Amino acid sequence: MAELEGLEFGKSDFVLLDEVTMEQFMENLKLRFEKARIYTFIGEVVVSVNPYRHLDIYGKEVIEDYRGRELYENPPHLYAVADAAYKAMKRRAKDTCIVISGESGAGKTEASKYIMQYIAAITNPSQRAEVESVKNVLLKSNCVLEAFGNAKTNRNDNSSRFGKYMDINFNFNGDPTGGHINNYLLEKSRVAQQQEGERNFHSFYQVLRGGSDGLLKSLYLQRDPAEYAYTNQGASITLASNNDSLCHKAVMAALKVIGFTAEEIISIYKILSTILHLGNLQFTSDGEHVVLVGEDTVKHISELTSTEPENTRKALLYRTVATGGGEVIEKGHNEQEASYGRDAFAKALYERLFAWIVGRINCVIQVKDYNPALHGKNTVIGVLDIYGFEIFDNNSFEQFCINYCNEKLQQLFIELILRQEQDEYQREGITWQNIEYFNNQIIVDLVEQPHKGIISVLDEACLTAGKVTDTVCLDSMNKKLGQHPHYTSRKLCPADKTMEFNRDFRIRHYAGDVTYSVEVAYLGLLENVRVRRAGFAYRQPYARFLQRYKMTCEYTWPNHLMSSDQEAVEAIVNQHGFEDDVAYGHTKLFVRTPRTLFTLEQERAALIPILVLFLQKVWRGALARMRCRKIRAIYTIMAYYKCYKVKAHFWEVERRFTNVRNMADYGKSVEWPTPPAALVQFHRITQHLYRRWWARQLIKNIPPSDMAEVRAKVAALSALSGERVDWGYSRAWERDYLAKDSPLTSTNFVRITKELKNKDPYSQVLFSCSVRMLNWFNNTKDRALLITDKHIYRLEPKKHFKVQKRISLDSVVGVSVTSGSDQMVALHTASQDDFLVHLQRGQLNPNQDRVGELVGSLTDHFTRKVRVNQLTGFYCSIFIFLYNYKYLINCIMILLFHSISDQHLCNVHYCSGFRYLILLYV
């Protein structure tokens, strides 16, 4: 710690004193106190001196400085002890306890509050609402307990007048989940009587000075504490407000946060007001009877306690006595007995009120719905805050009990810190300098030993026949304890005038003759320093030490191969060079200075992330290998299953199509099974092959004379299917309609075709039909259209089919038709000398659609003439557009437009853009 605090602040750990004497101990304590260093270490013990002023050493920044740090990493502080207890609880999953002890006014209550605040600040980093609620209740409970259990004394403005032990429960994450409060030895005598300069419990002054006018009126109270016998005994103190008004508001808010209902809160203040009214009751004698003075006060008490005035009066003036024969009688009080009974009633009432408040808080903060199997191990940090040795001008039985409790605490301190330390060294075979210290077990036995101790003597005296007085009790103790070396009284030592005859007795403590106190080098701190200096600051069984620090040594990680754990621990110590700072016991390793342990903890903390990453890597690798094996198994199963599904598909296809050759439709009605995903492409190819086979079976019986028609229909189907509703596929295609439509004209047409065949040799007529022509002037004329495998002819029927125009068939680059039922056809040529004709349906069959026949014949002719990938002359393009006879000229312009722009189109395709082009042109 010298590295953190300069020598001008003294020694931050009493173990570092040059010479362990009372003078040096006190000098170091004084120096640090003058430098505002109120905390000093003795190993894991923190010595605190009350500064009686505010010091800025408890803020959030200071909390962050101590969070998660080792005990000796920062200067001495309460936070260091609190963090060490919390860290030990989390690391080892074991309960820990913080004991706060000291003389009255030393600052124990404030220390317990700071410890609670620190634990609340470092827990629940995720800010879970339920944990924050528990923390809030635990903190607010202090405010309530201080109001009803603390009072101003001559040494302390906020002295705890009760002992408190609080358990704080934590879940496996280290977050508080609840708690429990045990209260001990409430100083109920303070309710009725206080020493000069002291006050009653804070709660009385808070309700008087901080309560609203309406509340005080409902409780029949005056705002001035001097009006009440139980609050006016320290006259100079009652005039000071002591922030009672603000504290009352804080207590009211805390009660609501904890969960007290409005009815419960008003009941609490009714009981407080009842006690104040009880203190103002006066008794006077009326002959043989005692009567109450002030009927109004009795009525107020009755109303506040919900009792009848007569029953209240009877309870205060009479007591119930059981006779030897079992009869119960009522006996009246005298004035002194009535006053004593009134005060006893007030004290008992306040004690029960305080116990109920503590119990009510416990109901709220207790751990609820806890299941270790679901929520993990529940650990506890205990905080003990009990008032220390006291000596007043008039020390009653309560002070005796308080000081006896502190003697037991001193014994515990000696057992854990001093005697147990030396006994362990001897048991483990560690050589060290023995330190003599006083064991106060003899004093504890003086008080509690059965049949011999002071408490047993008091019990026996109370059972003595006849009237039992304090003098009788003192005489009994003098007789039975007169020879005890630590007991004395004025009767046993007549020359000691500091004690009164028949009143005082004294217990001789180890630091000198004191009355319930020690002049008491308190709690053996000097001996603690000597034991810590002579001994070792840390000890641990070899197995546990090895388990915690084995990763810091290459010879012990992950598991050592040595003959014993002790040898493995020696390897760790030797590797770090700590041989001179340790000793080896039979079962434990002893470390002299905390710096050695701190160095080990630092190295361990640095290695933990590396080990975590290594373990994560190994575990992730194991998980990856397991996943890989599972995936491989899955793929193997999938492969066999795919193979099975493929074979099953083949078997099913074979089964369904085995007899298709013998079926009338050659299996067209057979439903294909759904293929597995791996065979989708193969399935499509198989279906295509089947359809080709099925088509072959159908067409192989068609006569050769009908094959031209079939090929033309197939060509038209591929070009027009889905674009025209009816394109004449259901009827026989005659192709040469001019030779068959009209007997009157057919003879002339046949003659002309023979002449043309002689003139322009061609093999066959592809199509002939009567048409109607449209010229630029919107005039129509009847004409004839003849298409051979060489030329296209436009003939004039009225002039014996005279040839008006002839163009080579090879010059045709496209055909345009509409999607409607009209017979409009445009033949596009390379020379842009297009044919725009309207096919006539014929006289015998006026509903025939001949567009499909024309398109099919031309498509089939060019398909058979040239291979598709070598087409250079004819590219058949069919454009679908809206047609209207009234706007025939627009169609002509569109066709002319496409005759120019579509010369390089490949394959048959469709264009829906004519609607846009038509509208644009219009």
Find the catalytic residue in 187, 390, 407, 709. 390
Are the C-beta atoms of residues 276 and 221 closer than 8 Å to each other? yes
How far is the C-alpha of 809 from the C-alpha of 715, rounded, in Å?
18
- Long-range Cβ contacts of 802-810 (<8 Å, 24+ apart): 803/752, 803/756, 806/760, 807/831, 807/833, 807/835, 810/873, 810/874
- Whether 669 is catalytic is no
Q: Tokens at residue 193, please?
A: 């009587």
- Whether 728 is catalytic is no
- Tally of CA atoms within 13 A in the half-sphere of 333 that contains its CB: 20
How far is the C-alpha of 112 from the C-alpha of 120, rounded, in Å?
12
**Cis preceding-peptide flag for 558 (omega within 30 of 0):** yes
Cβ burial, residue 286 (10 Å; 0-12/13-18/19+)? exposed
DSSP code at position 721: T
- Whether 388 is catalytic is yes
How far is the C-alpha of 572 from the C-alpha of 275, rounded, in Å?
67
Sequence letter at residue 871: L
- Whether 177 is catalytic is no
Are the C-beta atoms of residues 47 and 103 closer than 8 Å to each other? no
Mapping DSSP to helix (H, G, I), strand (E, B) and coil, where does residue 868 land? helix
Sequence letter at residue 227: E
Find the catalytic residue in 43, 105, 210, 234. 105
Find the catalytic residue in 141, 159, 406, 818. 159
- Whether 109 is catalytic is yes
- Whether 476 is catalytic is no
Sequence letter at residue 232: N
Please give the biggest Cα pair distance in the chain.
Answer: 174
Dump the DSSP string for 160-208.
E-SEEEEEEEE-TTS-EEEEEEEEE---THHHH---TT---BHHHHHHH
In SS3 terms, 29-60 reads as HHHHHHCCCCEEEECCEEEECCCCCCCCCCCH
Q: Chain centroid to CA 823: how far?
A: 78
Binding site listing for ATP: 102-109
Binding site listing: 102-109
- Whether 156 is catalytic is yes
How far is the C-alpha of 589 from the C-alpha of 547, rounded, in Å?
13
Are the C-beta atoms of residues 623 and 615 closer than 8 Å to each other? no
Find the catalytic residue in 160, 177, 488, 528. 160
Owner of token pair 């007043």 = 392
How far is the C-alpha of 768 from the C-alpha of 784, rounded, in Å?
7
Are the C-beta atoms of residues 232 and 226 closer than 8 Å to each other? yes
Contacts of 714 (CB under 8 A, 6+ apart): 856, 860
What are the DSSP E strand ranges found in 515-642? 538-541, 582-584, 588-591
Sequence letter at residue 83: D
* Distances from the Cα of 238 to the Cα of 192, 274, 517, angstroms: 15, 19, 29
How far is the C-alpha of 102 from the C-alpha of 105, rounded, in Å?
8
> What is the helix (H) or strand (E) element at residue 359, kind and residue range?
helix 335-365
Find the catalytic residue in 48, 104, 476, 478. 104
Going by their DSSP bridges, the two strands 96-100 and 379-385 should be labelled as parallel
Cβ burial, residue 118 (10 Å; 0-12/13-18/19+)? buried
How far is the C-alpha of 772 from the C-alpha of 513, rounded, in Å?
146
Q: Which residues pair with 767 in a beta bridge?
A: 787
How far is the C-alpha of 246 from the C-alpha of 235, rounded, in Å?
21
- Whether 105 is catalytic is yes
Length of the chain, please? 922
Going by their DSSP bridges, the two strands 505-509 and 512-514 should be labelled as antiparallel
Find the catalytic residue in 156, 238, 528, 857. 156
Cβ burial, residue 682 (10 Å; 0-12/13-18/19+)? middle
Are the C-beta atoms of residues 448 and 507 closer than 8 Å to each other? no
CA pseudo-torsion sign 113, 116, 117, 118: positive
Q: What is the set of active-site residues?
A: 104-105, 109, 156, 159-160, 388, 390
